[in-house]
Structure 1
Amino acid sequence: MGSQAEVAIPETTINKNPRVSVVILAYNHEAYIRQALEGVVMQKNNFKFEVYVHDDASHDGTSDIIQEYEKKYPSLIKPIFQKENQFSRGINPLTHHIYPQLKGDYIAYCEGDDYWSDPLKLQKQVDFMDSHPEYIVCGHDVHMQYEKGVSVKEVFYNKPSEGSFSFTFLDEFSNHFLATASVLVRRDVAIDTPVTNNLVSVDMHALLYFLSKGNGYYMVDKMAVKRRNLGGITMDLAYRRRSVDGQYRMWKEILVFAPERYKSLLRFRVAEYQRLLLKKRSLSPRNNYADLLLGAVRNNPFWFLGLGEKVRQLRLQCASR
C-alpha cells in the first residue's frame, strides 16, 4: 500500500488548508478498520487532505489500531476517541463533534467497515467538483461485498441511470442509491446539515439535505467497497425495532427542508409511516393515535378514497419534469 509520504504535494500548497477533510466513523470495527485506514492513506493527490477518525467508545481493538495509524501518520490522522457511546445517547458525532473541526473545501466519508479501493478516488472527485461548481455532491459506483450470514442481493443499489450521470433530490428520494463511502460534498453545505437526535437512516437525512441545495454527479468508476456484514447497524435488533418510528421522524424532518416542488411527495411518504405506525400500534407520547390518524388524512387524503397511489404517480411524473 502507498503512504502519505508518497503523495506528491506541490510546494506552493504546503502551508495551505487541506482541500479535503476525510471522516471515518468507527465502532467495534477491529476486523475492518485497518483496511478502511489503508484505503485512505494510499490516496495519491496533488493536494493536502486530513483524516478525522471518530471511535464511538469501541470495546474491542479498534482504538488501538487507530492509535497505531496516528503514530505512523501524525500529520494526517486525527482521531477522536469517545469515552461514552454517542450513538446510544442520540448524538450525531458528525454535527456535534466532527464538522466544527474540519478545514477542507470538501468532505469525504467512509464508514469503518467499508474501504476505498482506488488510490485516485479523491483526486478524480476533487478535479471534477473544482471544474463543475454547479454540483453540490459527487458520488460513484461501489463494489458490494457480502460476508457470511448475510443474504446476497442481485442488485443492492437501484441507480436511476447507467454510466455516469447527474442526479437530483428526487432521484435519491425515490431510491436511496448513494453509498456513504462514495460521497464527496462541499464543506460549506455539509456543515449546515440540520442537527437531529434521530439516528435512524441518518445518511439518507444528510444526503437529501445536500441535494436540497443543488444537484449531484455520479461517476461510473467503482472506487470503494461497501460491506454487508452481521455487525452492521442495520442488522442490530434494537435498531430495527425502532426503525419504523425513526424513519417516520426522519421523513418529517426532511419535509421541512425539501425543495417546494417535492413537498407533496414527502407528505405522501410521511402519511405512509403514519398509517404503518397505526397498523403496528406503535403508539407513544410522541405518536398518539389521534395525531397519527389526523396526520395521515391531512398528508394523503386520496388514500382514504382509494386514489392514493394514482395521485402519487401523477405527482411523481410532474416532479420529474
Structure 2
Amino acid sequence: MSSNQVSVFVLTYNQENFIAQAIESILMQKTNFTYQLVIGEDCSTDTTREICEIYAQQFPDKIKILPALDTNIGLIANYMRTLKECDGKYIAICDGDDYWLDEYKLQKQVDFLESNPDFSIIYTRVRKLYPNGEFKESTVIPQKTSSTFDDLIFDNYIPSVTALFKNIQDNCSEIPDWILNYPYGDWPTYLWTIKNGGKVYFLDEITAVYRMEIGVSSKIRKKVSTIDEINSRITREILKDSSFKSRKEIVKQALIKQKIRLMVRYNRERNYVEAFKLYFCNLKYFFHIYSVSKMYLYSLYKSYR
C-alpha cells in the first residue's frame, strides 16, 4: 500500500460537462490524512481528458490520471484497470458524472472504519439529481445500521458514490476476472471485500449526489428486470467461485430469491414466457411452493389490470 490513506476511484468517459464538478468535490475534502484521485479516462471523444489533465497538472501530488488509451475499452474494463491502480488503505468511488456534497465525507468515513476494525464498508444516503434539475432525496433507508455479506448478497443497497471500503487487493486476493463479463462491478467488489468477514455500516447522512437517467446504468435500468437478470447471473458466478465457498448456502438462498423476484418482474412486464420458464424450471428449488405459486399467479393477474 502507498502512503495515501484513501484512493478515490474516478471513472469517466465523455463527461466534459460534469467531470470538473466531480473532481472539485473530491479536492474540497478536508482530512487529516493524504488521499489521491485515481482517474480512469476511457478515450473520450470530447474534452474530458483535457479537463482531467489540467487538474492533474495543477495537483500532481493529489491526482493520478491513468495513461491515455488508443480506443474505448468500455466501462467494466476501465473499472478493473482503475481499481487495480488504487493502492490506498481504503477506496472511495465517485463516477465522473456524480459529485460529493460533504467536505468531511472521507474524514467521517475513515474515522469510523479506523475506530471499528470489524467493519469493512461504510456508505451513506444519496441525493438524486434528475435531468430537469430537480433534486430528490433517496427514500430507501436500510432497516439495519449494520449489515453483513448475508444481507448484501440478496441485493445491492449501497449507492456507489457514497461508499468507502477496505482495499484488500494483494497477490493472494485478486478481484475475480469474471466481473469483466458484467456491466457493473461495484456490487461484486463489495461482496468480494467482505466474503471472509467484515460488516457494512450505514451512516444516516447525505454526502453525495447521483445523477439520474444518464450514463450506462440508466440504459440498463430502463427495464427493471434487466438489473435482476444481471444480479442473478452475478450470483451464479459467486456460487461457482471457490473464493466464496464459505458462503455457499446463503448464496444459494439469494439466488432462489432473485429468481422469484425476476419471475414476478417478467409477469409485470408481460414477458409471460420467461416468467413461466422460471417458475416451472425452478419449482424443485423453491422451499415454499405454495407461496411461490401464489406470487406467480398474483403477478400474472396484476399484469392484466
TM-score, normalising length from structure 2? 0.77
Q: Would the alpha carbon gap of residues 194 and 239 (structure 1) be closer, same or farther in structure 2, given more than 3 Å must change?
A: farther
Q: Which runs of 5+ in 1 are unaligned?
A: 1-15, 283-289, 312-321
Separation in structure 2 between the aligned mates of residue 62 and residue 281 of structure 1, nearest angstrom: 44
Q: Could you list the per-position Cα deviations for residues 100-151 of structure 1 after superposition, in whole angstroms to 9, with x for gaps in the alignment?
A: 332211111111111111111111111111111111111122222222299x
The residue that corresponds to 1:105 in the other structure is 89
Letter in 1 for 2:20: R
1:206 is matched with which residue: 160, 173, 189? 189
1: distance between equivalents of 2:71 and 2:257?
Answer: 35
Instruction: Measure the CA separation in 2 of the matches of 1:158 and 1:17.
Output: 35
- Check if 1:231 corresponds to 2:214: yes
The correspondence of residues 5-44 of structure 1 with structure 2, limited to 5 A, is 17-44=3-30
Distance in 2 (CA, whole Å) between partners of 1:206 and 1:48 is: 23
- Alignment check: 8 A CA contact 1:45 1:122 kept: yes
Residue number among 267, 270, 275 corresponding to 2:255 in the alignment: 267
2:39–2:82 Cα contact (<8 Å) kept: no
1:12 corresponds to: none
Q: SS at the partner of 1:111?
A: coil
Q: Tell me, yes or no, if the aligned pair for 1:251 and 1:269 is still in contact at 8 Å.
A: no
Rounded to whole Å, the distance in 1 between the matches of 2:17 and 2:214 is 10
Give the whole-Å Cα distance in 2 for the aligned partners of 1:123 and 1:38.
Answer: 16
Instruction: Indicate the residue corresponding to 2:79 in structure 1.
Output: 94
Aligned to 2:157: 177
> In the alignment, which residue of structure 2 is the partner of 1:6?
none
The amino acid across from 1:69 in the alignment is: Y
1:48 has 2:47 as partner? no
**Aligned residue for 2:58?**
72
Cα offsets for 1:57-87 (capped at 9, x unmatched) = 2212211110110111111111123332222
How far apart, in 2, do the equivalents of 1:296 and 1:149 lie? 44
Distance 1:66 1:209, change over 3 A: same
Within a 5 Å distance, the mapping from 1:142-161 to structure 2 comes to 142-148=126-132, 155-161=138-144
Report what 2:47 is aligned to: 61
Post-superposition shift, 1:234? 2.5
Equivalent position amino acid for 2:174 in 1: D
Q: Percent identity?
A: 27
Q: 1:105 to 1:218 in 2, by over 3 A?
A: same
Q: How many aligned residue pairs are there?
A: 279
Q: Deviations over 1:199-245 (max 9, x none)?
A: 234322222333433211111222111121x3222322799696565
* 1:168 paired residue number: 148
Q: For residues 155 and 75 of structure 1, what CA distance do their matches in structure 2 show?
A: 35
Normalising by structure 1, what TM-score?
0.73
Tell me by how many angstroms 1:310 deviates: 8.8
Q: Deviations over 1:25-53 (max 9, x none)?
A: 11111111111000111111111111111
Deviation at 1:255, TM superposition (A): 3.1
Separation in 2, partners of 1:40, 1:295: 48
